[in-house]
Structures are given as structure tokens and as C-alpha cells.
Structure 1
Amino acid sequence: MSAGLLVAVLLASALLEGSGWAGGVGDGNLRLSVTVNGRADSDVRPPEVRVGAWVVKRYRLLNVSEADLHRVRVLDPGAPAGSVRCPAVLPAAEEAECTARFRAVAGRHVHPVRAEGDVPSLRTRLTATARAGYAGVAGALGLTEEVVVATPGTGGGGASATVTYTVTNRGNLPLYTVRVEDPGLALAPGAPDCGGQGGTVAVLAPDTSAFCRTTVRLRPGTYRSAGRASGSDRATTLGTGGERVTAPLLTAGASAVFVVREAPVAPVPRTPAPGAPAAGAPAAGSSAGAAGASAGAGAVPAPGAPGALARTDTNAGTGTGTDAAGRPAAPAAPGAGAAPGAVPPSSVSPGAVPPAPPPGLRRAAGVDDEGFLGRVRRRGREAAEFGVATTLLLLLIPAAVAAALLGSRRK
């Protein structure tokens, strides 16, 4: 064997030992088929899966080449990222399965799926494609409510409350026989008016709403409305293994707290007694009585008459009068309107003669009422009287002493 041939054989052996045999590799050597919830023709008839239920996709890969595939992977835009699991290596002339499991979302999701595997010795990549997907379906029932309480009327008895229930189909399938009730208000069956259907909406199309109303009479207090809605989309879907799943009963709820106020009590009109004056009018004789009382208050009994009192000036300190000579009298000091020693009228019973005040009291009252000039004159008179008395005492005392001495000598 020549040296050149030997080198070629050794080189071929090294290549075969390092990377494995890579014969029979080309387009079409990798095949792909997909089943979705047990259905193989999901590209033509995507299975209906209820929104929120599980979707299981199975990707069957068949390697008909004569080389092992490395870094096997499936790219599916209809599956959440990272949800597909595949084996790392797919041996030659064998098959493997990749799987994905996730929750269904509303809408039709049919997309091309691509499977790939690498042949490192040939620096090539085998691929395969298929179409697969599912349809997420469901009627989604929603409910809201609003309460309007009427203003209470007079006379008591509470007030009326109007409750409006709004049912909405947020799904992509029609809803049938949607019933509305309110156990919180203990409504009778069929009490809410849903357009003349007796508490029931016959068909509610996707993305539409219907209104039901009821009016109840309630006593004052706090109440909680608890609306309930139920219906069905009547859709049969497929489970993860291809089994048929019947449509469930769809429900929704809402609540509202409201207060019914106490109604104001109507005022009762008062009927005046026969002969009684109307409201706000003075009673008969009241003006005359007031005038008589005013005149009586200012009248001065005649001197010596029974029950005669000193006149009390209710405007003392502001009024003026005249003295005996007809000259204007000085204004009286505050609180000096009553005569000295006078007894207040409130302390004397009608017809009784008030007792005469003691002399000392009369003098003290006179002193309090004499004014500043009167006090000066009185003090002058008292000083003069005091001087005369002192002179007499100075004269009488020596005379008495002299008489006493003369008498003692005669003895």
C-alpha cells in the first residue's frame, strides 16, 4: 500500500470515529405530526377547548436519516414560550415526542409548527413543518347592579328602591336562558323585569348586555342586594385526551349596600277652640289690660290712703323734674329713685299699710340722698355745733371744780 493511500484511509477512519457515520442525510429525513387534545387534523378542524381549560399538544418527530439529531427543538407560536419539552437527541431511524401543556385562551390559534435537529458532523440542520392549533371558546357571564332609593314621602312607611341588574356576555359564544335573581332582597322568582321575559334573558350575544329591573318597597334601614345571574353557552368541548366535555352552568354575582331613610313626619294642623284668637293675634283685652297695668304702675295713691306707697321712678338716673319753687331739680343719682325708707312694691301685699321706717333709717336715707353740696353744708353745721358744745364744757368744768372746792372749805 502506498503512503498516499494509507494517509487517506487513516483520515477517513478518524473522521468516522470522531463524528459518527453521516450517510443518508438530506431533506425530508425528519418528519413531524401534531395532535391537539387528541385530534390529529387540528389544522383543518381545530378542537374547541373551553377558555381556561388545559390544552395538550403532542409533537411526533420521526428521524428517517442515518445520522443522530442533536439539539432537537420545536418552535410553535401557538404555545407559550418555554412550554414545549423535547429530548436532547433523536437517534437515527427512531422517533421521539415533544409535548406542550398550557391553558386555553379565547380565539382561534392555528399556526405553522417547525421542528429542527442538528447533525454536527455535517454541519447541517434537518427541519420539518406542520400546521396545528385549537379554538378557545366560552361564553363569559358578567353582572353589575345599581340601586336608586326614592326620597321618602311624609307620613312614614319607608321608601321604594329600584335595582338595575346589568348582565353582560364577555365571551365569544352566545349565552342562553340567562336568569337573574336576588336572594338578598328575597325577590320572588321572575321578579326582575328583563324586557318582558320574567327575569330571564333568552339569548345574549357575545359582547352585548341586557338590563333587568325591579322596584321594592322597604322600611327604613340598611339593606344588601345580592344579585345572581346564571346561563349556559351550550358548547361541548374537548378534554386533554380527546374526550367530550359538556357545557357547564355559568354564573356571576354582584352586590350593593344601600340605606332607606326614615320618612319625615307630617305636621298635624291645630284647630283653634271656638272663640280663641288666631295664632299670632293678641288675646282679647290684652291691649287694654296692658294699658291699665301701665297706668296702674305709674299711679300714685293719695296721701293717707290705704296701701299708699312712695312712687318708684323706673327711669331713675335719666329723668328730670321740678322742685317746690318750680325750678328744675337735679337728676337723681342711680338707684335713688325710691324715697328714703320706702318699701319695694313687691314686698307689700295689696291694701296693706307699710310700716313707718325707724328715725335712724330715715336719717341715714336722707344722708345718702343729700348730694355733695348737702354733705359740705351739713359738715359745716356739725363743726359749728361741736364748737359751741366745747366752749360750754370748758366753762362748766372749772365752775364745777370751784364749787367743789368752796364746799370742802366750808366744812
Structure 2
Amino acid sequence: MKILLLGSGGREHSLAWKIAQSPLVDEVFSAPGNPGMDKIGPCFDLDPTDLKAVQELALQIVPDLIVIGPEAPLAAGVSDALRARGFDVFGPSQKAAQLESSKGFAKDLMKKYGVPTAGYGRFTDLTEALEYLEGMTAPYVIKADGLAAGKGVVIAQTLEEAENTVEEFMAGRFGDASAEIVIEEFMEGEEASVFVMTDGEGAIYLPVAQDHKRVGDGDTGPNTGGMGAYAPAPVVDARTLELVQTMIVEPMLSGMADDDMPYQGVLYVGIMVTPSGPKVVEFNARFGDPECQVLMAGLPGDIVPALLVCATGGLVSSHAALCEMMGLSEFRPSATVVMAANGYPGAVKKGSVIAGVDNADAIDSVTVFHAGTDMNEKGELIAAGGRVLGVTATGDDLRQAVDRAYHGVAAIDWPEGFYRRDIAHRALK
């Protein structure tokens, strides 16, 4: 098989790395890719949201499967355009991807299908939003309706902070993405990430992961796209996962199919484990980043047959065989430590040189996934984004996986970077 992977981050590098291990696969092409993905197969410099460019590349390569990594191409309708050309695509339609591209759309669907989530209001009028806040109690959860690179959520501790956030959002802090906002009730509990691979009917549940959104140790500081992750996460026990399946995933998949937007791809279910059971924090239309890295590293088997069946149908009848091929029952505990550029999630300086990645990669059970890297004119690896590397490791248990990941971090020489030192602290406490 030839597989085309769209995207350029740590999630996409880990997918390319895993896909390339399949005995079914001869070539992995990436667009635009990154220096890490370039070692796996050819990379093509194009914007993955550019429908015309992506279609032209697909017609040139003629891949057997196209895997869409990030959310922006899904929101732009790339999967629809490629399917119309006759390609098999792992990734939901533009209509179904609104679960991520519009927080309000997702909340309205949950309400329609009876899926447990926080109470909420949708607003495009500032006065109405501020009046709604006055009827709530602290803390307040304010979300940009559209895509904001994982940074469009603020948990305000006071009414004044909430009002200021609402005003900033609606004044264009995230451009059109925050022209409409969602205000939610705060949910007490612990968050976890449930990933479901689906063809719209059947469902494969991957090991539950937990990421670290806050920038600083002890879950302090502003929200980020994710500073690290680990799996499996013990916060979700078998009973909780059963409730996620029956109360959340099954109603969503059947409801969306009935509403003429069947969901194909991976459904990311961000849940809050509350005293009254699991409730949805958010849906994403793709693998989480950095959760994807721990999932790909920990799975010992072949993920390609499952990707293909999700794209083409027939998951219900082949479910057991696909789970066995993936090695789901033999998943190895895994952890990812994100190395980010100083200043993240605010403004960062690009171009600093990173050394020692090969040394980290050479450590037993450690793999370094590139998230925001580039090469300079001297051929040196440089930082080209906020989150730059995802140092990932597996182990016989979670403690060993975490220790190996930090051993990998220590082998990397990058003074302009930083990382959290407490990844998986909830599971290891």
C-alpha cells in the first residue's frame, strides 16, 4: 500500500512512524510533513487545507489510503473533496467535523441526543453573554466556538475575569473563531481522553489517555495544546468506560448517522469523570496531540487494517480481528514529555538550534516525535513552533515509561526549551 498523511505535527509524525511499520505498507507520503517525517518517506510542501493542491497531489501519488491528521483540513472539507475523487479517507466529513470546529454545534447535538455534558449558553451578543454570566456561580468556563489551536478555553475564577475574557473573545482574540462563544457550567472532576476509531457503525476503543493542558508543573498557568500525556489512565475504570460507551459514544454515532452525517475516522471524547459519572468536556474530530504519540508508541501491532476499515466500512464484522492485529490487549504503558519553546503558549522565538535528538532516539524504548521543527541552512535541526518535540517512551509499567521519557529529554541539548517535570503525576501519586 501507499499511504498519504496530511499534517506536520507530533501527532502526524507518530502516525507516520506507526503506519510505516506495517508489513502492508510500501510507502508513506506526508504533506507538508516535518524533518522527522522526512526520514520516513517523501514530504510535499503544501498547505493541507488547500483543496486544489491536496487533490492534485493525491491524483499524482494515487494512494491506497489518505489519513488526515489535524482538524483544519477536516473543517475545510478536504475529506469530502478527496472522497468525491474516489479516494479512501480516514477522517470525518466537513459536516461531521463540526463536532470540533463549532463548540456550539457539538453542545446542541449532545443536548439533542441526551448525552451528558455541562449546562451551557451560546452567544454572539456581548450584552446577552454578560447577563448570562451574572446568573452563574464561579468558576466560569468560556470557550471560543471555533478552532483556536487548543487555546480557546479559559476557566475564570472571578466574575470580573470572566467578563473581561468574554469581552476579549468577542472583540476578536481568536478572530472569527471567537465571534461566537460558549459559556459553560464548571464541572468538578478529573479529565481523560477516550479515543474511538469508527466507520460510523462499529467502534474500537483505544486505551484511555490523559494529557496535561496547563503549561506549568502542578497544573498551573495558562492552557496549552498539551504539555505531555500518558496511557493507560487509571482514572477511567471499566465501569466508567462502559458508561462512556453507552451514554456518550453510541448515542452520538447513531444520532449522527440518523442525521445524515455518519462519522468516519477517530472520535476524540474529552470527558470529565465527575461524582455523578462521565460527562463530555469536548469532542475532537482527530487524534489528540500529544495523546496520539503515547497511543502509537504503546500499540505493539498493526494499525493500518483498522484505519482502512474505518475509511471503507465493515468494522462491526471485523472488530475482533482488527483489535487482535493492533495488539490492543498487549498495550504497553507509555508517556510523552513535550519540549516547548520558551514563552509558549505565548509568543515564541523561532530558529534556536536543537542538538542530541539522535542520542535520545538511541535510548531503549524512546522515540522523539517532531512537533514544530525545521532545518536551517547549515542542516541543523531548529525550533519552528511552540510545541517542538514529543519525547515518548514505553515501559513494563507507567513509572518505567515516564523515567525513560525523562531520560530521553535529558539527552537533548536545547537551552531555549522547557518542559513539565511532573507528567503522569496523577497516576503515579
TM-score (norm 1): 0.18
Highest relative contact order (Cα 8 Å, sep 6+), 1 or 2? 2
**In proportion to residue count, which structure has more strand?**
1
**In proportion to residue count, which structure has more helix?**
2
